Copies of this chain bind each other. A is one copy, B any other.
Amino acid sequence: MESLLSPSMLRQKIRRNQFSSNTSGYCSGYVQANLCILPQQQAHEFLQFCQLNPKPCPLIGMSATPGDYQIPSLGKDIDLRTDVPQYRIFEYGRPIAQVCDIRDYWRNDLVAFVLGCSFSFEEALLADGLEVRNLTEGVNVPMYRSSIQCQPAGTFSGNMVVSMRPFKAADAIRAIQICSRFPAVHGAPVHFGDSSEIGIQHLNQPDFGDAVTIRAKEHPVFWACGVTPQVAVEQSKPPFCITHAPGAMLVTDQLNSRLAIM
C-alpha cells in the first residue's frame, strides 16, 4: 500500500519522477515541510522574517551554506533539488514555471529554508479523536489572507495567511492544548469566532484551498499558515525564488512526535 512507504522510499520515487502529486496522507507519523529557496542576497532578510514571525514561518531546517541542497538533519539522503514532487519557480514575485526537478535551476548562491507544516498538528488532532473537517471532506484546508500584519524584515512583509478548521467549543479548547505542544508547526491558533475581526469577510470563499462545512455550535478556529512566506515573496518580489507547490511537500525522516516540546 502506497501509504506504507517510508519517507526515504517515497523520496526515491519522487526523485525518479515516479510520484509527482500531493503528499497528504503519505508517510503517516513523519514531518512534511514547506520549502522556500532564495538567493543569498535575500536569504538573510528572509531568515530574519522567519525569526520575527515564528507562528506562520516555523523554521525547522536550512542550508548550512549557500548552494547546499542537503538537509541531513531532516533526512540523510535528502536532495532538495529532486525530492519534492512539484516545485514553483518565481521571478520578481511572478510564477514562471512548475517543475518536478530543479537541478537545471540550481545555483551556488541559493539558500533553502524548510518550514513546518500543518499536516503534523492535524495528525496530532486526529490521534486525539478530534475530527479535522478538511480531512473528513477530502479537500485542502481553507486558507485566507487575514488582516494580521507580520513583523516586516527588510523587503519581506505582508499579512498573515491563516488556515481554518471548525470545532465545537470543548474540542477547540482541546485543539488549542494539543497545538500548543507543537510550536514548530504553527503552534496554538491565532483566532477563533468572528472572522471579520481578522479581516476575513467570507468564510465560504477561501483565498487558497477549499471551503469546508461549518456546523451549528461550531466555531471557526484559525491557525497561522505556511502560505504566509509565499505571500511575503509575492510582495517583496525577489529576483528569483523556488517553493514547493501547495500540498506537494518535502517528506522528511523526522517523527512528528519529536516536534512536541513536551
Contact = CB atoms under 8 A, between A and B. Distances in A.
Interface in A82-123: none
Query: Interface size class for chain A?
Result: 10 to 19
Interface string A153-184: 00000000000000001101100110010000
A25 interface: no
A176 B180 CA distance: 10
A190 B170 contact: yes
A197 B180 contact: no
Contacts of A197: 169, 217
Contacts of A173: 176, 188-192
A262 interface: yes
A193 B177 contact: no
A128 interface: no
Interface of A: 169-170, 172-173, 176-177, 180, 188-194, 197, 217, 219, 262
